[in-house]
Structure 1
Amino acid sequence: MEFDSSSLSLDCLIHIFSFLHEDELIRASGVCKVWHEAAETPWLWRQLCLQRWPFCNMARAASGGEKRAWKSYYLQRSHLEGKMETGRACADYTCKSLRGHTGHIVGFGYLVGNSVRSEEWNSTPVVCSASTDGTVRAWDVQQGVQLWASPPQSSLCDIAVDQEKRLVFTSDTAGLVKAWEGLSGREVASFPTSSSGCRLLPCGLQDQPLLAVGTNGGSLYTLSSPSLTQVSHKVMCDTFRINLLTSSPDRKWLFAGTKENADFSPQVFSSESLNSASEDDPPLCQSVPVLGCVAAAFLPSEPARVVLIHSTEDIHKKAVSVFSIHMKKSKYKEEILVEQVETFQLDAGGWYSDVLLQTRGSDTFVIAQANSLRVYTLKGVVLASFEDHTEPIAALCVDSFRVVTASRDLSLRVLTWKKDRDTGLSLQSRYHLLGGSHTMSRGFTGVACDYVSIVASVEAVNGKDALKAYSFSS
């Protein structure tokens, strides 16, 4: 007796098709009308999406009655990631030069970006940059055009972007901190400090946003955002600048320190206490028991854990330590507890303060030093090692899909994460993105990414730095 596959019930077919990959589903949909109906079931494509991108969310599209929303989402996003993995010029991406600054670019960041975790992954990216020419500028990354530029002021030293609030913050050589509306370029507020240069970081809880300001004189200010009124002030270390500032992903913790004093211990602050601080009731903080910290980063999936690179008893060697942070409350007081959960010595020599550190997930981090890139677990296991660049790596960008390194050799190296069932997580080197001519440029100085684009700053020989924008389209 010959088996008739068309006699299978729709529910039975859907169950069978749940074991297929996307290309197999597409082929199955062309067999017959019944198979087509089963293969087009939104539930199947939703399962494929969630298996590949656990944090994707199509709730709004699905509620709008679009039966093909999950399939369309999957195919477009899969096609985009394929382009990001092959990186073929013209075929996979377009490159735009963003020119307008007449000085060195001191920093930049995404004002509007596309997150790998969101269904809104195909909006137009906007980047804001600051320069020693005294201007802040906003750029449409895909079109390669300037959206607005601020009036010139004193030479700028730093820029920080609060993407959620659509705000831009700058500091200049006169010690003035300013807040700008990111979409319009309108100046919102300013705050004078006594420091000639400040490091900036948006922080604080979502309903009580703050701006942390680390000064060259060793002070840490916290200002309300965007009004820039002073909330707290703490002198952390005399004569040494605060140049290590990072906030936990949930913004509950602020980490601050200096890379210039080998005898100084960094500190962790409670964001909740920063908002209610006063002269009589200073913000709640706790020293982290390490010295000579040169890099720090919180774990994205473990927001109360911070990874540090710091000195050991042998001044020529560095160690990595992981600390867990939590609040301990009693009847009469509350305090921050900082507990070491992992530590190991880095098997490398010649480590300096310009080591680059970024984290991924709950147990992986990436270190760049000179022209070397290494991937570690929190136990100190080296998962991968690369030396793709011929000159030092100047900047590093890491997310859940890829790693991008920017080098003084005027190239970007794109690497993508792969998770194998047997071997676990690995990183694969893919391709270079070139930044132009060495006769005109001295190399890349910074890099930032969202899900559909990469932007990097190029140091120009004539002092008029530019941004290079690489856009991938589905």
Structure 2
Amino acid sequence: MESPLPEVPLFKVFSFLDVFDLLRAGQVNKYWNKVADSDRLWRDLCLKKWSFYNFSCEHLGPQTWKQFLLNQIRHERRMELAQPEDFIYKKTTGNLGLGTAYLSGSGPSMNGREKSVICTVSSKRMLYAWDAWEVGNSEGDIYTLTVPELRSVSKVNAFNYSVDFLHCSPDKKWIFASGTHQHILPKVLFVECLLRPSEGESPLSVSLPFSSCCRACWAPRRANRITMMFRRASFKKTGFSTFDLTLERTGGRTAIQAHQIASFLLPVHMESPIWMGVSDGNMIVFESGPYLFLFTINGLQLQQFDDHELTICNLWVDSLHVLTTSMDNYLHMYMWEEEGRYPYLKSCFHLEHIRNDYTPSCFFPKAICDNTSVVCVVSRSRETSILVMYSLNV
């Protein structure tokens, strides 16, 4: 009679499996089921899938890590298969502006009962803060503030021009800052130096050797990887470059090293994109005219989508969703496939910006989403906007 593989090496083997393979392994026999049900295995899968959420056992309540993960997958699957008739439609009008974000509900739900709460920024320029953040101004300065007091922690002059892009990495370790001026080299700063500034010393930073930056995104599951979109040759060529950041200590000194791992230029005949996003750090999604493209970071085209009739005017990307809007009064939802399986990006559903309203928008409509809702802001003028929310009817 063959003896079963001891529990420790079997656990090690199972630690390399994804969710679906681990479920299948648990169906082999009672012994494998016991090992495959280990809370540690399922917690590691949760941390891998949602790397930068602050999970703890207290948040779980009575459910196990396995139950939590499977519930989240069911929520994602429900959104993936949703049809327009599955949503509850609401709208409101006012001076809402075009800046929109989720305050809660946009991440994994620990108890399944959280509601999506959103925030908008109006043209009155009122600012409310709930978390630590950085602000860039037109003088090229970066301010680090505390909340809710908004007390200044540090002020750093990054450029001689305005800071047009300011992105914090998912693990809050790095800050990417850049302007759009053709002679500006983007910088990556070490956040700890901004939170604990040393008098008379400049914060640790490194310049990335690509000027004319027009967008940048951190990889949601690789905290030290950033992809930039830049222009070349009088803005007629668009390119993408990807860097990995490391903090290296040699001879008692600490320095940031930026390692370029990939770069490519789009074909000249392709209309230059305005928006971009990244998934696992190896794929880039961007719009070009009415089309949505998916490329590898090395320039290999993987997919092309033509779900819009008119030019895509806004693109929103997170680790699960890709959301596009266009001037044809429609938005379209895509979702990333798990573990980079083909098709890497799946086209899901089409929703109207405003139901039965084909009045053209004066400004580009913008949309965001989570696992239970889609929010879109359509502006008729600088003083009037329409906020639309589609909530899954559960």
Aligned equivalents of 2:173, 2:21: Cα separation in 1: 41
The correspondence of residues 187-226 of structure 1 with structure 2, limited to 5 A, is 209=132, 211-226=133-148
> SS where residue 273 of structure 1 aligns?
helix
> SS where residue 223 of structure 2 aligns?
strand
- Matching residue of 2:90: 96
- Matching residue of 1:272: 192
| Structure index of larger Rg | 1
Q: Which amino acid aligns with 2:344?
A: S
* Residue 101 of structure 2 corresponds to residue 109 of structure 1: yes
Identity, % of aligned positions: 24
Q: Which of 121, 127, 147 in structure 2 is aligned with 1:130?
A: 121
Aligned equivalents of 1:62, 1:302: Cα separation in 2: 25
Q: Which of 311, 328, 349 in structure 2 is aligned with 1:431?
A: 349
Contact 1:80 1:472 (8 Å CA) reproduced: no
Of 340-349 and 437-446, more deviation after overlay is shown by 437-446
Aligned equivalents of 1:395, 1:71: Cα separation in 2: 36
Q: Which of 244, 247, 259 in structure 1 is aligned with 2:165?
A: 244
* Residue 326 of structure 2 corresponds to residue 331 of structure 1: no
CA positional deviation for 1:251: 0.8
Change (3 A) 1:78 1:292: closer
Aligned equivalents of 1:61, 1:465: Cα separation in 2: 37
CA positional deviation for 1:108: 1.3
- Matching residue of 2:11: none
Aligned equivalents of 2:138, 2:271: Cα separation in 1: 23
Aligned equivalents of 2:305, 2:198: Cα separation in 1: 49
Aligned equivalents of 2:304, 2:104: Cα separation in 1: 32
CA positional deviation for 1:243: 1.0
Q: Which has the higher contact order (CA 8 A, sep 6+)?
A: 2
Q: Which of 119, 123, 126 in structure 1 is aligned with 2:110?
A: 119
Instruction: Answer 1 or 2: which has greater strand percent.
Output: 1
> SS where residue 303 of structure 1 aligns?
coil
Structure 2 stretches lacking a partner, 5+ long: 1-19
Change (3 A) 1:307 1:82: closer
Q: Which of 219, 223, 238 in structure 2 is aligned with 1:299?
A: 219
The correspondence of residues 323-402 of structure 1 with structure 2, limited to 5 A, is 323-349=243-269, 355-402=274-321
Structure 1 stretches lacking a partner, 5+ long: 1-17, 26-36, 135-155, 157-169, 171-177, 183-201, 203-208
CA positional deviation for 1:420: 8.7
TM-score of the aligned structures, taking structure 2 as reference length: 0.78
CA positional deviation for 1:360: 1.0
- Equivalent pairs counted in the alignment come to 364
> SS where residue 222 of structure 1 aligns?
strand
* Residue 149 of structure 2 corresponds to residue 231 of structure 1: no
Contact 2:97 2:382 (8 Å CA) reproduced: no
TM-score of the aligned structures, taking structure 1 as reference length: 0.66
CA positional deviation for 1:264: 1.1
- Matching residue of 2:80: 85
Deviations 1:118-164 (CA, angstroms, capped at 9, x unpaired): 534541111011111x2xxxxxxxxxxxxxxxxxxxxx1xxxxxxxx
Contact 1:410 1:443 (8 Å CA) reproduced: no
CA positional deviation for 1:299: 0.9
Change (3 A) 1:351 1:272: farther
Deviations 1:358-392 (CA, angstroms, capped at 9, x unpaired): 11123122112332211122222212112322233
